[in-house]
Structures are given as C-alpha cells and as structure tokens.
Amino acid sequence: MIKFMSKKLFLYITFFYLIFNFQINAKTPTSFADLAEKLMPSVVNISTTQTIKTQSTPFPFQFPPGSPFGEMFKEFERPTERKATSLGSGFIIKKNGTVITNNHVIANAEDIIVRVDNKEYKAKVLGADPYSDIAVLKIDSSENFKTAEFGDSDKARVGDWVVAIGNPFGLGGTVTSGIISARNRDINLTRYDDFIQTDASINQGNSGGPLFNLDGDVIGINTAIISPSGASSGIGFAIPANYASTIIDQLIKFGETKRGWLGVRIQQVTNEIATVAGLDEPRGAFIGGVSEKSPADKGGMKTGDIVLEFDGQKIKTMRNLPKVVANTKPNKKVNVKIWRDKKLITLRLTLGRMESAKEFKQ
C-alpha cells in the first residue's frame, strides 16, 4: 500500500512539474523571427535634410567672444549655407502611408524621405507636436502599405518582453529585444513625461520607431536614451501608445493638438508646505499663482490651494496635474478637489484650450 501511494505521489509530482515547465516555456519565446518577419514591412527609415546658415570669415582665426575686433571686422563676414542630414525611424498606421515618428526627427526639415522595403518616397508633415515629441507624416504615393496596430499600453507590465525595430546609425531594419524595465518614468524631457522604460537596445536613429509587445502591437514610440557615450546603455524610453494615440488622432484630424488648459503656476508640495497646510503627507500640486481670467481664476481657484483631485483622477505629485489637464478636452466642465484652510473643497470649472492661451503663444 505504501509502495503504491509513493508511486501515485511520484506521478502527481511529475505531472505538475511538466505542466509548470510547459507554462514557463510557453511564455518565454525561443525566437523572435516570426514576429520580426511579420512586423518589418510596417517599419520605415526616415532621412531628412535641412539648410544650416552660418557666418564665415576670411581670417584663419576667430576673435574671442566680446572682443572689440570682432565688431570691427564683422563687415568681412559672409553668409554660408550647408546641408545637414539626420536619420530616424517610424511606422505606418494606415494603408495610405500615414507614418508616425518623433517630432525631433523631422523638425525644421526641408525634405523628408521615407524608405519602405528598400523603396524611397517623399513625405510631408500632416501635423507635429513638440510638447509630446510626436509627428504624423504622409507618404507621397497611391500605393497600399502594410500597417502596424496600436495595443493597450496600460496593460504592459514591468518584466514583459518587448521588441524594437528601427534605423539605428542608419542600419535600417534592425531588430532588438528586451523587457519593460519600468513604467511612468519622468526624465524631464517633455512637459508630459510618462515613459515606458526598456532595456531593448535603442540607439541614435531608433527615434520614432515602434516598441512592440509579443502580440505584435505597438505599445510605445521609442524616443530617448540615457547614455554618457551616446550609444545604448540598456536604458531607453518610449512614449506609451495610449497617450500617443490621442495626440495622433488630433494631429490627423486637425493638424494640431487641442489640450485642456487650467491657467495656474504650480510647484511641488514639500514636507514644510504639507505641515503648514495641515495635510497628512506631501501630495497634490501647490498653486503658486493663478492667471487672470483663466479657467482656474473664473472657477474660484486661489494661490495657496493644493489640488488633490482633478476630474476624478488623484493628483499624487505636481507633475501629475499638467498631464491630466492636457489630456482633458477643452470646454469640458470638471470637478476639482482642492485643500484650502485645512478643508477639502470641490470647485467646478470649465477648461480652456492651451493652444489658445496667451501664455502658450508667447
């Protein structure tokens, strides 16, 4: 009987061990070849040219900054021009050749060339947004192109496998893989930093290229790296697809963005501010100033208020507020919970449009 039970127990243990290993192996890809082959046709290489104007002097030396001789001999300077080129990546989201890339890839470009499967096409800018570093291009062609689909970046988890495809150092069609290293990274690159961090190799020229999950969906737009040498150090950053999609839809439809605007100057809630205000911990966004006749001013917001919740979303830190406000449609009526005089108060106000605000135009 004991011998029979031991044999039965051994079979159970072996069965569960095999099932466990099968599940682990099923989640760990043995190759990215099939995925890469499927996705490569939707990824493009982008090259741009622009004219750089400078002043040249006939002298074989330069005067130091502030030297009076520099002003005396300024009349001898002659304007010169040179062509500068830059490289980047992108991906096609519509069969008609609508391409997504970074704004910094095409900023100030006079000519934009998009290469798809070794064929080159001219492209024009449909819309660009420097604040999110996103641009939308249209390939000048009547052909149908293979497209990439956006996935739900909110479902992406730290530790998930990801694949980057792009044009690093001009070496088009380069595939790298890695994992998501962190979420919601703020590196002070844009007003609305909320990056996906990855250790998939991203280098110069990868900017604007897609970051795919294992389902072949775009969950991010590769945008930046942190590297003392300028090459990949295993820390790259991608704009989340869910945030990018909102901006892209606006750029395609209007040629520009339409963000919500509150009209306040904010600062971090320090331990000292929290103590004086009677808050249980440092949180929210401290209002350091309110613009006259702004939505905040009309809605009753005052300097010294601390915003704790905006339109149902908790404001944990100062940097949260601009992102939440910008992602809210202009003219929407919203509830804002603020901390004032050691009490929680709810204000109701109507948002303006940031792009129409005086502060934005300056």
Active centre residues (catalytic): 104, 133, 207
* Residue closest to 101 by CA, chosen among 254, 211, 209, 255: 209
Tokens of 208: 């604007």
Q: Exposure pattern of 70-82 as b/e (b: 16+ CB <10 Å)?
A: eeeeeeeeeeeee
**203 exposure class (CB count in 10 Å sphere: 0-12, 13-18, 19+):** buried
Q: Judge whether 105 and 134 are in contact, CB under 8 Å.
A: no
Give the DSSP per-residue string, 277-327. HT-SSS-SEEEEEE-TTSHHHHTT--TT-EEEEETTEE--STTHHHHHHHT
Residue showing tokens 């919970």: 337
Instruction: State the first-to-last Cα distance of the chain, in angstroms, to the nearest integer.
Output: 88
What whole-number distance in Å separates Cα of residue 334 and Cα of residue 312?
9
SS3 of residue 148 by DSSP: coil
